[in-house]
Amino acid sequence: MSDDSAAPERADTSKSTRTRERILDAAAFVLSRKGYAGTRLSDVAAQAEVQAPAIYYYFESRDALIEEVMWVGAHRVRAHVEEVLAGLPEDTSPMDRILEAVAAHLRYELHICDYATASIRNAGQVPEHVRLRPAAEEATYSRIWRDLFAQAKKAGQLRPDLDINVSRMLLLGSMNWAAEWWNPKMRSLNDLVKATQDFVRHGMGAVDLDDPTHG
């Protein structure tokens, strides 16, 4: 015999979850465009189509809401890149794994996810207490790239003199900075992905002396 009295409670919980997600989505939208200093709860509420005081039912403060957006942004980028890498054939070379990760990061950051853009653009703007949890997630993500570079170096697919730690941080920094300057009206996302992959392949990759294009 089913307990019909639980149905309204489940419906309320589902509605509450949807409202919380709508507020988060709205905050990601506003934060990705107006930045930390310019993000106001009134703008988030208008975007989410809720009353501003309702936000405090789900988040204790403006900073708590922004922290959650930035953590979600960092987490979703990591999860997306991990999913792409996990779906590659087992015989994919270490260098090709880096190139696929480059494409996955840029496409998610610039085309798919307001959360990722909000997290990346505001990393240097928010107070330290807002940065702690997102920064821990970013550190986990950075270790994925550390492993990718280490595997490619071990396989001889990176220049022997390459400092893989510095190169990894430069690559991540340049990809994240694209959120500030990339304009889809000036160049396509496909062009940006290819240019970044070429930068890795030709700037960091081992020189193939048998390649006829090598001078």
Alpha helices in 155-188 (DSSP H): 164-181
Instruction: Work out the average pLDDT over 91-106.
Output: 97
Record the tokens describing residue 113, joined without a space: 């996810």
pLDDT digits (tens, 9 = 90+) for 31-63: 989 999 999 999 999 999 999 999 999 999 999
Which CATH number among 3.20.20.70, 2.40.50.100, 1.10.357.10, 1.10.3720.10 corresponds to the domain 62-203? 1.10.357.10
Exposed/middle/buried for residue 201 (C-beta within 10 Å: 0-12, 13-18, 19+): middle
Record the tokens describing residue 107, joined without a space: 């496409």
pLDDT digits (tens, 9 = 90+) for 177-194: 888 888 888 989 999 999
Question: Does residue 196 contact residue 98 with C-beta atoms inside 8 Å?
Answer: no
pTM of the full structure:
0.82
pLDDT digits (tens, 9 = 90+) for 159-181: 999 999 999 999 999 998 888 88
- Answer whether residue 11 shows pLDDT above 80: no
In the chain, domain spans? 62-203
pLDDT digits (tens, 9 = 90+) for 107-125: 998 876 788 888 888 888 8
